[in-house]
Each structure stands twice: as C-alpha cells, then as structure tokens.
A and B are shown apart, each in its own frame.
Chain A
Amino acid sequence: MPGVTSNSGDSSLSIVPHFSDSQKPRIYPLRYHGLIPPLARVSISWARGSTLRVSLIQSDAISEKQPGGEVVEVKLTNMEGGEITEAQWRRIAYGSVTPFALLQSQKNLMDSSHYSKDWWEHVMEYSKEINSLLGNSKSSGNLVIEDPKAVLKKEEEPTSLKAAWELMEIFYADKQSETCIPERLLDWLADYDCLFSRTQPTVHAKLVDFQRELVTLQVVENDPKYWEAMSSALAVGWLDIVVKLLHLHGSYQFDQLGNRETENGLVEAVAVLISKMPRMRPDLPAEKLGECYQTKPEFMKAWEKWRAQITKLDCSAFWLQCDHHQTREGLKNMLQIMLGNTSILSNVTYHWIELFISHFLYIRPFTVGLENMCNLAQKCMHLKPISNHHKLMGLIIGILEENTEVVLAECSRSFGPWMITHALELLTAGSTQAEILLHEEQSKLGGINIEELHRLVYAQVLSSHALTWNIAPIYLTSCMKQGMGLLENLLYRQPVQNHQVLLKSIEICRLNELDIVSSNMMKISGVRNWKHGQKGSAVFWLQQAQDEVRLNRIAKQLFDFVGKSVSDESFKQWEGLIELLGTESKTAGGLKFLNIYRDFRRSLLQVHGGTTSDAAQKAVESLVSLMKNPSTPQRFWLPLLYDSLKLLNWQEHPLLNVSQTHLLLNKLQELSMARLRPDFTNVDLPPEALNSVRLALANNLGRAILEE
C-alpha cells in the first residue's frame, strides 16, 4: 500500500523507541548566536525529563569581544510547536489527568471477567472527555438566522490532533456505532476535510471558492461552478449544503415562477429526494438531512424505494420540458451521483478519502467490515494518488489495514507522546490483537510493555517543564514495572531549595510511600539550611528526615558550648536549637543532657540577674539531675560545678541537702581518679577550679548537716 510513512515535515525531535528504525538519524541544527566555529568543546548534561543542555565552548584564540561560549537547552519530544501552542498543550495535559486517572481506577476495580462486557462504555466516557479538551465540537455556535448565501459556516480551524482522536474513537472505542462506521466517517470528513485543503484540492476548498464568488453572482444556475459545487458536496454527503444551494436556484424567485414552473418542479423534486435519503444511523443532528434507519432490513427497504424514486425521476418526461440547459444537465448529473455512477463520482471528488466516502454513500452502502473498507481505500487511493501525505493519512491507513504497529508508530510520530499515551486506552479497548501487543512484556526493553513505555516517555516530557512536572506522577504510578523507579529519579532532581517544590515533592512521596526519597529531600534541605546559617530550619528538616547522624553531629557541636561564660550572647540561639532538637531523638543520647543543661543555664542566668532563692533552688535541682544523668559527659562535670560555685556558696541557706552534697562530692572524687588515666581530656578552666569547688562543697556539707 502506498504512503505508509508520513512525511508531515514536523520539526519536533522524537526519542520514542519504535519497532524498527531503519531510517537514518535525523540531523537537527543547534543554533548558537555569538560564537565562531570551530568550537573547542561541546559538553552535555541531561536536565529533568527529556531536556538536554549543551554547553558550546569557544576556542580561546578568538578575538576579545567574543563570549566564551553559550549553553543551549534542547527539549526533545516537546509538545509545543505545530498547530497547538504551548499554553494550549498545558491545558490539554492538565485536563486529561482526571479522565485518565478515573479510567485507571475503574480498570483496577473491574475484575477480568467483566472486562470486555461494558468496558467500552467507560472508555467512551473517557474518550468524550478527552475529545472535549481538544477544541470546540462542531455543533456549537449554530446561528438560527443565517445569511442565505452563507453555505459554509465559519468556524475555528479544527486541529489534526482532534481529527486523529475522533478517528481512534470511531474505530476502537465506540462499540455502539460499530454498524454505522461509514456514517461516522462521513461526519468526520465533514468536520475535517478542510485540513486536507492546505496541501491539495478538496471538496471543502471547492465550496470555499464558490462561496466567495456566490456573493457576486446574479444568476447562479448559469454558472457551471454552481453545479460543480453541488455535485461535489452531494458526492461526499453534505446534503444540507446541497439543498441550501438548490434553493438559490433562480426558478424559486417569485417573478420567475410562472415561466419556469416545470424547471422549478424538477429542482424541488431533486431537493426533496436528497433530503429524504435513507441513512443507516440512529439519529442525525438537527440541521442535517436524511431519514434515519436503525436496522439493516428497514434501511435496505427504504434504500430500494428511494433508488426506485430516483430512477423514476431520471426517466421522467418532464426533462424534455425543461428549457434551461445547465439546470437540466446539472440535475441529471446529481441523479447519476445518487444512482452511484462511478465515473461521475470520481470526477466530482478530489481527495481519495472523499471518493472513499462517496462509495459508501452511493455504491456500497452496506459495507462495514474493515477488510472491505481497506480494499476500497486501496482502490480509491489508486484512482486518486496524492503527492503530499497529510499526517492523518498514515493513521487512517494503519487503522484500515488493522496494523497495530503502524497505528502506534503514526500516533506517536505524528501526534506525539500525549496522543499515544491517551489513545492507547482506546486501542486496547477496541482490539484484542492490539491489547496483546501492547501488554506483552518486551524483554529487550528490560521487561516493560509498550503501554508502559509510552507512559514513561510522556511522563518524561511532562517532567521537562516546571509547570507540568507535578502531573507526571499520575502517569508514572500507572506503570507497574518501571514507573516508581522513574518517579524516584524525577523527585531526586527536584530543586529542594524552592519551598513550594519541596512541599509538593514531599506530598507526592507521601502519596506513593516513597519515604526514603522524601527523607533524602528533607536531608538536602536541612544541610543546605545549615550551611547557609539558617540553623533552626536546618534542625527542623534534619529531624523531619530523621537523620540521626547529622543531628548527633549538631548536638556534639552544641556540647562545645557547655562551660562557656553564662552571659554569652549566643546562648539564645543555642537555646532555640536545643528546643528544636527536642528529646525524642533516640540515638542522640546527648540530647537529654542538653535539655537539662538548658534548664540549668536558664535558672543560672536568673540567679545572676537577681538573687531569687526560687531560681537558685531550681538551678540546683537541674544541677543535681545533670550530675545524676549517665549521659552527661564526664568532661562537663567540673565546668558544671564550677559554674555553680555561687549556688554552692549560697549565703542565705545551703541549697543542697546532705545526700545531694555527697553525690556531688563522689563525682568530684571520680573525676580526680579519672585525671590519672591517660585518655582524660583536660578542660579549659582555671587551675584552682577543682579546689574551689571542693571547698565550696565541703562548706555546703557542713552547713547542711547543721541544718538537718
């Protein structure tokens, strides 16, 4: 079959694997601006998704004014460009998330026995939702009061993407209309024939031309173009347009009626026949003409009757009384079209697909099987060869040939990763062969199937952009084998210094139970804050990450503070950090010590400020619990006691009771013993510190005994 490959000339770079890539690699220019070749070095780096950054570095020998090089960002398989703008693509991408996710969850709910039964209904709902994102449907904006001479409505240009989606829907998803595929194709062509006009003549182009001339024409029936336009429109089944045009015939005008009665009768008879054409479809939109029949026997009966009426009119004697040559010939020609005259049909259509549709309408109205359709399409293509293939052609041919591989390749090459990812749902619903092919594990691809491959590729495209990366997880989590792996890699590349991104990433991790990934991100954020001097948030994030190693390390740094002068200004900051570090941390054993030490330090500060016995008592309690606590490092014992000299020598009354004093004295004794060991770390204190503490404790003991 000719024309299996599409040469649509799209400039986007595709990096999707296909079954065979026999073509030579395509060469894409990397445009740079201020540099002069040759370049000294080219270096590459993948950014998120399928974005490649290329550093082009200038040779050093070039003049002073030249820059040293530039970095070019290349988006591979990007969605922008072509007929749809970047913003529109984003709207489509966001809009399709919900229908896609809903369909996946319905699929998961369904057990396999019900799979085939009503499944297509869900798929149709999905398809309609997606289709509505791709542009306005044709039936909207229908004005009741119309310019009688406006044959074609001016609408926004439809996109090939929407046309492709509807094709997939017609052939794969819509099981209800399986029997009336020709009728649906006819509607489809009515909507999208204009897409083919850009590159070659079509019925649509013909009508547009005629519409332009129509305004200036006085007597339309004298113009051969009037008859040509009507024949063409009739051939492809645009009945409403034909009847509207027929009514512009001069014989309808009041001043003419008397003289051209027969002529007018013939015109009207043809118009009535056209509007009564039997159609095998459940219903028709209001403005469309024809009579609908649901079942084949009814339709066949009506069809025979209708054809008999045409034949009868064709043989009627009234034609002899019609003086107007053009009218007579034109109408006869139209009757021949309706009678299925092959050569006339071929003359009045331009594109093979128009000829194809006309065959369904007038020659083989009962053709439904794909095999027949394919043969017919081949025949039509042979009669109307085309030089410039529209990208939709490859898709149509693939569908008619029932060649899933070609359909896949066309969807992805011509319409991109969004299309293939979403259209696969239609394909798998409609064709068992396609389903098997798409769900078969590809050992050459590491065990994933084609469906998953396309979702992964689409997710990568989404992740390339800061505004769409956050919907990529929806598609990745629908991939059983490698989706989570790619999601992890995507999350690891998120810039955590951006607070919004960090929170969003953590949320994604939570939903997908990726605790290791989220704690890694919190860790990165914590370390970054620590290095940037934001110690509070650093501790917060490291705690969230449960990073005991780094928290312990920070706690150790706080230890170094112990023993420094009480009035130290940085105490406040330090105090806050301990608060943050909390006591929950299990392995950070020193933290309990730090907490009590903070209380001790606070009370001590109050004592130094004024002389309240209350604060002094509290400080002493903290001191005792510090000394009792096994996690208090030995090296801090003496500094703690030395700091408490004022408490030990409290003037009003001894603050420590006998047993407390004994405890502290014992610790002091232990410390003296430890000093003899080689691993003892000497603290930076005045040499008389030990003695003054001992003296104070002895003094306190004496007073305490007296008091008790």
Chain B
Amino acid sequence: MDKTILILDKGTTCTAWNYSGQRLAAGSTDGTIAIYDSTDPASSIFNCTARFKVQESSILKVVWVPPEYGDAVACISADGTLSLWEEVAQDADVLLWKLCICFERNTSQVLDIQFGDSHTCLKLVAAYSDGQVKIYEVLDPLELEKWQLQAEFQNVIDLVSKFGNASCSAASISWNPQRGELQQSSFVLGFTSSVPLLNSSKVWEFDQDHQRWLPVAELALPEDKSDQVFAVAWAPNIGRPYELIAVATQKGIAIWHVGSNPDSNGRLLTEKVAVLSGHDGEVWQMEWDMSGMTLASTGSDGVVKLWQSNLNGVWHEQAILAPSS
C-alpha cells in the first residue's frame, strides 16, 4: 500500500509536487532548491536533476507556477523575500534554472502565495505579515520576469476598515480550482494575526465590471470570527451545485458549503456543515483529492488524516496514516 519513492537531502524544509506529480521541488535550510524528476510516467523512480541556490536564508515554502507558463517555482525565504525561478534552455539546449524576478518588499514578510487564473492571465496572490494582500498579474504570457501589481487590500469584510499596525504570523490562501472561461476568479484567504478582524477566512472574487476584488463570503460563525486560521482548502468541483471549502482553526476543521449565486448584498450563501476535531494542535496543511470527495490533512500531531462525507452527508474521519519506522 505504501512505498518510499524518494529520499530527501539533509536540511530539507519543504516540498512541492508539480501539476502532474512528475517533478518535486524541495527547499532546504541552506537556501537551495533541489528538483527531482521522473522521466517515465509509469515509473516511480525519481532522480535529482537540478540544484540551485535561491538565498542565503532557509526556504519556507515552494509553489509551482501553473504549467501553462512553463516549469517555474516561486519560493518564500525565511527573510521574507519572494522570488520566482524558471527552467529555460540556454545555449546548446542546456536546461538551467534562472531567476526571473525577486519581488520587491518593504519591511513586511511574505507568509503565503498561490497562483491562480492560469487560463486567462496568470495571477499571484501574496499575503504579507503586515496583513496586506497583494495580487500581481503577469504582463507577458511567455515571460515571467514582468509582473504588475493589480490590487492590494486587507482581509476584511467591510472594505472601509484599515489596520495600520497588524502583525501576522501565518496565512493560508487557496484558489477556486475550477478552470474555464466563464468562471469568475476567486480565492479564499485566512490569517493568524494580532488583529481579530483580519483572521477569519473570506472568499474574494474579482468583479469584472468594476475591475476590483470584493469579499463575497466570510467563512466563520459570528462567535468564531476572531479565530486564527491555520489552513484553508478549496475543493475541486466536478459537478456539485455548491462549492466546498475546508477551514482549519484551533476549534477543528470546518467544512463549508458555499452557494454560487450572490444575494442582493453581493454575498454568497454559506453553510457550515461540519466541524471535525482535527489534529491535536495546529493543522499544517489540507489538500482535496481530484474528485473533491476526500480531504487529507496533516498537523502538529504528525499524522495524516483522511476525511469524507458518508451518503447521509455526515462528515467523519475515514482513516489515519501514522508514520512509523
């Protein structure tokens, strides 16, 4: 049932698989990124094919750029910088990883990033430690060097409030994975911060008519709004009439149904259908499978848990994968 497919370098801090699961990027404490490849889709033998230095400081997170834009990764370093690297052929067809851009920053650090909207114009959402959310857009579909800032806002439901001195330690972003021309771009975002109003997960949608981002739903009950958010995950939708989003806070993993049509205030109908007592302590990560039926989560208790709804719509813990030597 389980087998080891890859041994990671010493000092590895984070890993990320590309869209097809054929390439793995692993960041490490010394600021290098190692790329592991499997040439044949049928084999699960992975070899390290490239290694490049990003920064002097440790790498906190690696994210692959959608494949429509080539083989490229974005990395967040411990010093809070965000840089983008891509694999391109230099002379004589030698493939090299080169720096495309190092996003400028002020004193705040980048906490989380996610790419979205790959079918039209690639966008990058970045959440910063001062509570700001920035959305960058790529200018040229064949060049990842040039980005422009499309929007900048704070994760608050009423757009008037501004918090100048927020201090955030973590953030989690998840794009609506749905592709297609008709789909509005949207994502969900939650913070762990000193300002309660910034914390709760909000769904942001791009308003095409007014060319701006609007909060269309808040995924927290009134009494939970200040809860710090560990992780969010937007499920793929292969035909459900509603969207499914998982939000992890210290109270557990909540499963939300989000309607697709806004009410008169422009808000989407939301319903919290389950709270699952998740991991003892912090939830590190949540991932939906490709059908959007099974949710996998990891947390500080060191195990992987699988969650599923039964035919009566009751969510429950389906299995626990416990690492053991």
Contact = CB atoms under 8 A, between A and B. Distances in A.
Interface of A: 11-13, 15, 17-21, 25-58, 60, 64, 66-76, 78, 81, 442-448, 450, 453, 456, 460, 463, 466-467, 481-482, 484-486, 488-490, 492-498, 501, 516, 520, 523-524, 527-528, 530-534, 549-550, 553-554
A431 B26 CA distance: 54
Given A490-B290, A527-B69, A47 B17 contact: yes
A446 B1 contact: no
Interface residues of B, number: 89
B133 interface: no
Nearest to A524: B67
13 contacts: A15-B306, A28-B320, A29-B322, A42-B323, A43-B15, A57-B14, A73-B2, A460-B291, A493-B290, A496-B67, A520-B68, A527-B141, A550-B141
Contact of A11 (B1, B119, B239, B293): B1
Nearest to B294: A15
A403 B321 CA distance: 32
Contacts of A29: 321-324
Contacts of B222: none
A64 B10 contact: yes
B321 A28 contact: yes
B159 interface: no
Contact of A501 (B12, B41, B180, B320): B41
Given A490-B290, A494-B20, A524-B67, A72 B3 contact: yes
B53 to A, nearest CB: 16
Interface in B1-34: 1-17, 19-22, 24, 26, 28-29
Contacts of A17: 293, 308-311
Nearest to A530: B142
B2 A31 contact: yes
B99 interface: no
B86 interface: yes
A520 B119 contact: yes
Contact of B290 (A20, A31, A444, A486): A486
B260 interface: no
Contact of B241 (A50, A60, A446): A446
Contacts of B17: 45, 47, 53
B224 to A, nearest CB: 24
B251 to A, nearest CB: 20
A18 B310 contact: yes
A450 B312 CA distance: 12
Instruction: Tell me what chain A mostly uses at the interface: helix, strand, loop, or mixed.
Output: mixed
Contacts of B141: 527, 549-550, 553
B325 A42 contact: no
A33 to B, nearest CB: 6
B285 interface: yes
B4 to A, nearest CB: 5
B230 interface: no
Contacts of A12: 1
Contacts of A49: 290
A494 B20 CA distance: 6
A17 B325 CA distance: 30
B117 to A, nearest CB: 13
Given A43-B14, A44-B304, A460-B289, A447 B8 contact: no
B27 to A, nearest CB: 10
Task: List the 4 closest pairs (A to B, CB-CB), nearest first.
Answer: A485-B238, A444-B313, A533-B89, A446-B240
A39 B298 CA distance: 12
A497 B302 contact: no
B41 A466 contact: yes
Contacts of A496: 20, 67
Interface of B: 1-17, 19-22, 24, 26, 28-29, 40-42, 44, 46, 67-71, 86-89, 93, 95, 119, 140-142, 179-181, 236-242, 284-285, 287-291, 293-294, 296-298, 302-306, 308-314, 316-325
B164 to A, nearest CB: 33
Contact of B19 (A75, A456, A492): A492
B1 A25 contact: no
A553 B142 contact: yes
A288 B87 CA distance: 71
Nearest to B86: A531
Contact of B6 (A26, A70, A467, A488): A70
B175 to A, nearest CB: 14
Given A25-B317, A41-B13, A446-B240, 6 more contacts: A30-B2, A44-B304, A73-B44, A456-B291, A520-B119, A528-B70
B1 A482 contact: no
Nearest to A38: B302
B5 A73 contact: yes
B74 to A, nearest CB: 16
A461 to B, nearest CB: 11
B7 to A, nearest CB: 5
Nearest to A53: B17
A219 B183 CA distance: 85
A25 B321 CA distance: 10
A528 B67 contact: yes
Contact of B89 (A40, A55, A442, A531): A531
Contacts of A57: 8, 12-15
Contacts of B238: 482, 484-486, 488-489
Contact of B15 (A25, A35, A55): A55
A33 B142 CA distance: 43
B96 to A, nearest CB: 11
A532 B93 CA distance: 7
B312 A20 contact: yes
Of residues A51, A58, A76, A554, which shows the largest number of chain B Cβ atoms within 10 Å of its Cβ? A76
B321 A74 contact: yes
B274 to A, nearest CB: 12
Which of A19, A37, A54, A534: most chain B CB closer than 10 A? A54
Contacts of A553: 140-142
Contacts of A70: 4, 6-8
Contact of A450 (B5, B86, B311, B320): B311
Nearest to B6: A71
Contacts of A68: 8-12, 28
A29 B325 CA distance: 9
Contact of A18 (B13, B24, B311): B311
B87 to A, nearest CB: 7
B180 to A, nearest CB: 7
Nearest to B240: A446
Given A42-B284, A485-B239, A531-B89, A71 B311 contact: no
A53 B67 contact: no
B23 to A, nearest CB: 9
A444 B236 contact: no
Contact of A28 (B88, B287, B319): B319
Contacts of B325: 31-33, 35-37
A542 to B, nearest CB: 10
A240 to B, nearest CB: 43
Nearest to A69: B8
A55 B93 CA distance: 32
Nearest to A33: B4
A580 B41 CA distance: 30
B240 A447 contact: yes
B302 A39 contact: yes
Given A15-B308, A71-B15, A26 B320 contact: yes
Contacts of B1: 11-13, 28, 74-75, 78, 81
A15 B310 CA distance: 10
A523 B322 contact: no
B201 to A, nearest CB: 20
Interface centre among A32, A55, A554 (most CB of B within 10 A): A55
Contacts of B8: 55, 57-58, 67-71
B318 A21 contact: yes
A69 to B, nearest CB: 4
A67 B9 contact: yes
Most buried by A among B180, B290, B305: B290
B258 to A, nearest CB: 13
